[in-house]
Amino acid sequence: MIHYRKLMDWKFEDIEHHYTSDFSMLYALSIGVGADPLDERQLRFVNDVEEGTPLAMPTLSTVIGFPGTWMRHPDTGIDVLKMVHGEEHIALHAPMPAAGRVIARHRVTRIVDKGEGRGATVTYEKLLFDAQTQAKLATVTHTTFCRGNGGFSAHDGLTDTPAAPPAKVPDGPPDQIFDVATLAQQALLYRLLADRNPLHSVPAVARAAGFEKPILHGLCTYGIAGYALVAAYGDYDPSRLKTLFTRFTAPVMPGETVRMEMYRQATGVAFRARVLERNTVVLDSGYAEFQ
């Protein structure tokens, strides 16, 4: 069972992440950039033969300073077999460097009891700083839905107010569509960046979890969404993306095609993503802001 105060006070050590341009290029390849190796705009993220390349995708911020599987520690009280990725939000304060030393600082910011049998949500924040200048690079907010932890507040009455629900994505034909065909080995590629959860690489583990085969990481799908937005509304300039939020609604199976359906709004872009092979929405309530 979750103990609110213990989880809110969870101690995280600062993580110093030193990475090279190879890491940034691997990340870009793992979210589908470079599928057309003749597209000069894509090559700027996956090649380093010209001055100023590679560029880093903004969603690289989600894998830098990865805190590991801390939620699986028994002292958290989280039922790890019933937790799923709920939401992700990034705010970019400066362009992500394609190489460098970055400090990641984590903290739990919100724990919401939805009620007995309805689960709970745990939100934690990651702040990324340039290790040399201490300039803030990004704020990454990660929300996990803990399906087995509803009702925890009954013993002490402690729970947070839920965040305001995100706006719904418009109905009707999207203003732009962007398709990314994932590879059969996409999860095996993406896991080299941070998350080695065997759910994404071991068939027996995936079957035990109720899937026919290993599923794609949710943050890989999130990266695909970021790539599509930068391409469609940022003219492949990663510095133009300022915020990116979405809810995870279903997993992607490696080898499926992710279709981004995007709607231009007054201050940004609303979006959802679906896999064409199953006509299933995998990301919803998405919103991005550009400068």
216-229 burial, b at 16+ Cβ within 10 Å, e below that, comes to bbbbbbbbbbbbbb
Residue 201: both structure tokens together: 């690489």
Q: What share of the chain is helix, strand, coil (3-state, %, to 5)?
A: 25, 30, 45
Q: What angle do CA 131, 137, 142 make, to 5 degrees?
A: 110
200 catalytic, yes or no? Answer: yes
The dihedral built from the CA positions of residue 236, 139, 143 and 80, taken in this order, carries a sign that is positive
φ, ψ at 234 (rounded to 5°): -110, 5
d(CA 52, CA 41): 13
48, 106, 142, 195: the catalytic one is 195
Helix (H, G, I), strand (E, B) or coil at 83: strand
List the catalytic residue out of 200, 217, 237, 284.
200
Ranges assigned E (strand) in the chain: 15-19, 83-92, 100-113, 120-130, 136-146, 176-181, 241-248, 257-264, 269-275, 280-290
In 3D space, the residue among 220, 230, 225, 226 whose CA is nearest the CA of residue 274 turns out to be: 225
> Taken in order 113, 119, 86, 278, is the CA torsion positive or negative?
negative
Interior CA angle at 96 toward 91 and 100, to 5°? 140
Q: Is 106 among the catalytic positions?
A: no
> If we measure between CA atoms, which residue out of 287, 228, 277 comes closest to residue 33?
228
C-alpha torsion sign, points 90, 95, 98, 104: negative
Active site residues: 195, 200
